[in-house]
Structure 1
């Protein structure tokens, strides 16, 4: 079976995804602690501007403003019953932007973590997690999303529940995890472990990979680990942050320049990723340089680790979480927001 995403990837060989959601919306006036998803109905013109910023910069696909559109997260804003509605509207706005772009652009329905810890470590049951992911996926599908896009997941149990939710909705999907703890996800999964998990799913994604985490260097090291284990069976996704977060005048600022992100995009492709975008801190100005670099620089061989460090900066940990590295202690924390 084909899908607009797989068709466009086959046509172009590599796709440029979008950048940050949160960073761009904060620049439009979103306040810390507010639910961005409520802007789908309250500030639709700003969501159109968010999507168009990526499309106009050259992105082949963009993610909808629905990262936290699940009952668990929305209950914090007295909007738990609006998960389907807000997901649907996020995709409807995206469909309108994509259909008037003048070229093929993929609408990817963003699905973030529930914000709860799943059993047996936490209290969220598998059945309830599947139900929440199913509801969000149904909304995205009703709004016209081409695919679902799971992102910033830490627990394999939650990844599996989302896969079931997408299956129930009949929505093809892509899924990334965040490797932010010494080369592993917060819940201890390695890049190799993710490859094994993905191929063990009854409803496998169309592509998978890593997003967010720490810096771009760490993310590329993770992609290299996946590529070595994956051996080209499914496309890989790299969506790294625009540098390292720093506090400047009371706000989080990412120090990655557009030029650095252009180098990152080319290196991500060389590492084995065929869907490349940015996460936190990535603005349209970054995407423009990434587009130019992917279009004008030839694909090369996979970089050595010291080449990644020289181009993008040091790793945050000595190891990538595999081999003899010790798994980090599991921590209880509500999943953070993308971008």
Structure 2
């Protein structure tokens, strides 16, 4: 138990993770055509301010601004040679802000999907995926990240590649997949398959789970399937702040701070150990989640009908494991 997150989990029942990096930086003026990671060099003050907002909101863990900083994604913007620079900067800025906090805060080195389809359906081999994840992981480690955080994946092979990269750089890691309206990833992975796969790895993650997807209620149905799998490894839940709607050409999420506070407590009552937000989750949401987790007593494990009553109907008829309930209108 040498990594900072494992030590934190050993001393408290749950950890509050951060919210949306992309949404926050767009609100600061990031052009949608510019990779967010470029700001680690171009606007480090704004990236630092984003990190500070997570700490001020009460987060115990926040992700570095490096989600898309792999060779494949940066090549689309003519920045393939900047992988090491941008990842190291993302972690170094985060390390500085975490070290200034008045309490322990975990810096999680964010690594998102490569952006290519894994073989045999696509052309991305596991060896090449591991190489790209390794390049990121090494720079995040050198910049000061406490742990690697792999999220929004759809493929178990890609997860295995990320795990191999973490092993190569000698870092603990966490991993989560993104599940759709059918309760599966776009590559067809179910929560039960994820639960089984992480335990078969030579270096299992500190925690695993689900992030992004559709909305908070759908994500908790995925969590219910992870719990039902019998895997006792700590679970991660990072749900979107409601469901996105297009307004005047921009995406807006309908989840209020009050809804996300309910979501956080329902996740806790389901046994989730690491609770955070994803797209649309802003500091106001995080503050409400922190306050609710600290003030509301823990309740019994919620049934699916209580989740829909509090957070809204599910978007699909099943959750990928036969967990059936009504659809979102």
Structure 1 length normalisation: TM-score?
0.94
Report how far residue 284 of structure 1 moved. 0.2
Consecutive unaligned residues in structure 1, runs of 5 or more: 326-339
Residue deviations 1:215-270 (CA, integer Å, cap 9, x gap): 100100101110121342x1000000000000111100000000000000000111
For the residue of structure 2 that corresponds to 1:68, the secondary structure is coil
In 2, Cα distance between the equivalents of 1:324 and 1:2? Answer: 37
1:267 is matched with 266
Secondary structure at the counterpart of residue 107 of structure 1? strand
Q: Is the 8 A contact 1:262 1:293 kept in 2?
A: yes
SS of 2:148's partner is: strand
Map 1:1-339 → 2, pairs under 5 A: 1-232=1-232, 234-323=233-322
Residue in 2 aligned with 1:329?
none
Deviating beyond 3 angstroms after TM superposition, the runs of 4 or more aligned structure 1 residues are none
Q: CA deviation at 1:31?
A: 1.2
For residues 165-196 of structure 1, the C-alpha deviation after alignment (integer angstroms, 9 at most, x for no partner) is 11111111000100014100110000101000
Distance 1:5 1:226 in 2: 21
Q: TM-score, normalised by structure 2?
A: 0.97
> Aligned in 2, Cα 1:267/1:324: closer, same or farther, shift over 3 Å?
closer
Whose relative contact order is higher, 1 or 2, with alpha carbons under 8 Å and at least 6 apart?
A: 1
Q: Do 2:112 and 2:151's aligned partners in 1 also have CA atoms closer than 8 Å?
A: yes
Question: CA offset at residue 203 of structure 1?
Answer: 1.4
Contact (CA 8 Å) 1:70, 1:132: kept in 2 or not? yes
- C-alpha displacement of 1:324: 9.7
Q: Deviations over 1:110-156 (max 9, x none)?
A: 00000000100000111110000000000000001000000000011
